[in-house]
Structure 1
Amino acid sequence: MQLRGHWYRGGTSKCWLFDAEDVARHASSREEMLQLLADAFGAADARQLDGVGGGTSTTSKAAIVTATPDGPTDLDYLFAQVGIGVPTVELGSNCGNCATAIALYAVQAGIVRAGDVATRVRMRNLNTGAVLTGTIATPLRRVPTAGQARVPGSAAPGVPVRLSFHAPWGQSTGMLLPTGKAVDRLAVSVDGRSLAATMLDAGAPAVFVPAGDLGVDLSSMTDGLAHALPRLLEVRAAAGVVMGLRPPGAPPQNAIPKVGLVAPAGTYTASDGTLVPEDSHDLRVRMLSMLAPHPAIGLTSAVAVSAAAAVAGSVVATSLARASTPGEGRWLRIGTPAGVVTTEVVTDDAGNVIEVVLDRAARQLATAHIEVARTVA
């Protein structure tokens, strides 16, 4: 069977975008849709050799796009994190990098008509209900196919996309802080004591712990965190129950909550060996993506870091050298393995985050008819 798809790079991810009508030709139920994506990506194989997946968490992503010309947004999209080595597809989260790609796709495919100067694409994420806006320059209604914008974690240039997350909190659990606390103690034993953690729902459900409490030194981000990975997976499993993302006894999810190690700003070695000076960023963060360290930082994770930075007493806020100022836009510079990622954080007079903005880049890689081979037991 052939499935038509559009392959895009958005930020530091690659994402296959599928029109909902094309998917409906081959899948009449959600279960069939999940199986279709797993088969198209070759998810059962860790190398994804017989499919279009890239074998990593940042290249095993898909989104199903539906134009909604009469709705409150221009389009809806369902994000899918496809399994690697397991024939599963998780729908529990959102992906900002894929949303960046979707914004460019919407303009290039004519879902949204190009404006005289710039085009705003309003998108609703069906996984969480989040609303995002991607803004793309379209001078004289010219639709861009290439650009010179770059983002940390990718040396290749792309079309500039300004991505905004609107009111990016409570979309999975109903509240910014699911437990009502800035810091909780997770029942993950470290040297006989529980672990301090900030759990919040912003951009995506996330849990942040001090890197030092797990014996992780973020002065270098070149290692694979093999020694800390089992404990980080314990953190995810425990936080998932506390945040109400899964019932006790149910298998832990691999995609959510996002897990982050946090440390104050300091000179560090990036994954490519570059020395990143202390004065270039406000704090250091390493995220877990699925079952491995993220090579940079996912955009929903960057939103979660930005929101946590505005919560007094949180693990993130206490790592910052400066306090946030309510009622204005401010920049947060996040030191990641790929370099420094900057977010613009807008808060109201009470200090609540009402918008997070990032400058990203996207590029179309291909349009293809994927030959999907059904899984053979």
Structure 2
Amino acid sequence: MTQTAIPFLFMRGGTSRGPYLNRADLPDDLETLAQVLIAMVGSGHPLNIDGVGGGNAVTTKVAMLSRSDDDWADIDYFFAQVSVEDRTVDFKPTCGNILSGVGPAAIEMGLIKAQNGETKLNIHAVNTRARVAATVQTPNGAVSYDGDAKIDGVPGTSAPVALQFMDTIGGATGAFLPTGNLIDTFNGVDVTCMDVAMPMVIAKADAFGLTGYESAETLNDNKDFFAAMEGVRIQAGEAMGMQNVAKSVTPKFGLLAPAKDGGTIATRYFMPWKAHPTMAVTGAQCLASCVLTPGTVAEGMAARSNDRPATITLEHASGQINVLVDYDVTADGIDLRSAGLVRTARLLARGEVMIPKSVLIR
């Protein structure tokens, strides 16, 4: 055989998609692993024509699973964000949408045994050290993808996957507010720098002359905005202790505006060099936390709930997403105990993905 075969599942997780792999089938060292994933996805071409990627950052994501040695967790989930065009791989962030498929994939791979009815499993997100409890529908001891759950950004309905995120504060920077401030100003733009599930730089849309209701396509065409946003993001990343982030997908960027369609607040999320067509699960947790924290850039833009837990409905470019946040207000912001979301996943294909022997020989 002129190529090296790696077993894989091809799955949609939430509003993202990509290969799900057994970590044991992959190289241990990250440099070789990155080259394997670049070849697998087809990074280096806008259509990923020579790989299984889909020409968009939400379709060039990879999940790598293994049984966990952690006393709490059943499964270790190692995530990679592969670039669409510039042949790079970022192992620093995680992805909550792809995580939606981790439970089903772990069962499909035989890494965990399905129970009759539903299967609960604990997932350790290796990249950020977050803990996530997942509940997967498994009638008759097999994963079901059929159901009535609907998420905006995905057509049709599917079986729900319930996720409860814990230990999400400071996963990348070590702090809820990495700069120590509720508001910082970079290039004349007020932002809140926050690290909950995903390190983010959050601003009001009108600070960039935007309404906050623009479509993802309209935003992607606005080169002046992206240039201004990137200047702010790079300065903020340095202030957050993340060094030079010019070539890193983190911190991500978010915009806020008053709610327009009955939600808590309107949001737009950036990956960061393109607008997300929907909303990242990790980003949703960070944005919801920003809304709940007094004194951030979200102050006065939404009615702050006194409920514990509180449901924050984020309006995004394709609809809405609900985040159930269990928290307390403290002198330093909020004490976030957990954030819950319901997503869906579907197995699309299974088989072997082929890697050129020039990249991987066995």
Give the structure-2-normalised TM-score.
Answer: 0.91
Distance 1:43 1:331 in 2: 38
Q: Which moved more, 1:299-308 or 1:40-49?
A: 40-49
Q: Is contact 2:18-2:53 (8 Å) kept? A: no
Asked whether the 8 Å contact 1:15–1:101 carries over to 2, the reply is: no
SS in 2 for 1:155: coil
Match of 1:362 in 2: 345
Percent identity between the aligned chains? 27
**Aligned pairs, how many?**
350
- Offset, 1:306: 1.4
Q: CA offset at residue 261 of structure 1?
A: 0.9
**Partners in 2 of 1:241 and 1:70 — Cα distance?**
32
Residues 223 and 62 of structure 1: is their aligned pair in 2 closer, same or farther, counting only changes over 3 Å?
closer
Q: Evaluate the alpha carbon distance shift between residue 339 and residue 151 of structure 1 in structure 2; reply closer, same or farther with a 3 A threshold.
A: same
* 1:268-311 deviation digits (Å, cap 9, x = unpaired): xxxxxxxxx3xx20110011114111101101100101111221
Distance 2:357 2:245 in 1: 26
Once the 2 structures are TM-superposed, how far is the Cα of residue 150 of structure 1 from its aligned partner?
A: 1.6
Give the corresponding residue for 2:30. 30
The separation in 1 between residues aligned to 2:214 and 2:83, in whole angstroms, is: 29
Q: CA RMSD in A?
A: 1.9
Return the letter of the residue paired with 1:370.
Answer: V
Give the 3-state SS of the residue equivalent to 2:157 in structure 1: strand
Name the structure 1 match of 2:305: 324
Partner secondary structure for residue 206 of structure 2: helix
**C-alpha distance in structure 1 between counterparts of 2:125 and 2:149, whole Å:** 25
Aligned-pair CA distance for 1:212:
0.3
Query: What are the ranges of 5 or more consecutive residues in structure 1 without an aligned counterpart?
Result: 189-193, 267-276
For the residue of structure 2 that corresponds to 1:78, the secondary structure is strand
Q: Give the corresponding residue for 1:269.
A: none
- Residue of structure 1 in register with 2:200 after alignment: 206
Q: 2:247 and 2:337 mapped to 1: Cα distance?
A: 28
TM (norm. structure 1) is: 0.88
| Unpaired stretches in structure 2, ≥5 consecutive residues | none
Give the 3-state SS of the residue equivalent to 1:230 in structure 2: helix
Question: What is the alpha-carbon distance in structure 1 between the residues aligned to residue 48 and residue 218 of structure 2?
Answer: 21
Give the letter aligned to residue 87 of structure 1.
R
- For 1:244, the equivalent position in structure 2 comes to 241
| 1:170 partner SS | coil
* 8 Å CA contact retained: 1:100, 1:362: yes
Contact 2:253 2:272 in 1 (8 A): no
Deviations 1:39-69 (A, max 9, x none): 1111122221101111101000001111126
User: Do 2:65 and 2:106's aligned partners in 1 also have CA atoms closer than 8 Å?
Assistant: no
* Aligned residue type for 1:201: D
Q: Which of 87-96 and 344-353 deviates more?
A: 344-353
**Structure 1 match to 2:129:** 129
- Deviation (angstroms), 1:28: 4.2
What CA deviation, in whole Å up to 9, does each residue of 1:305-332 have, x standing for no partner? Answer: 1111221111124321x12326x11110
CA contact (8 A) 2:293 2:329 kept: no
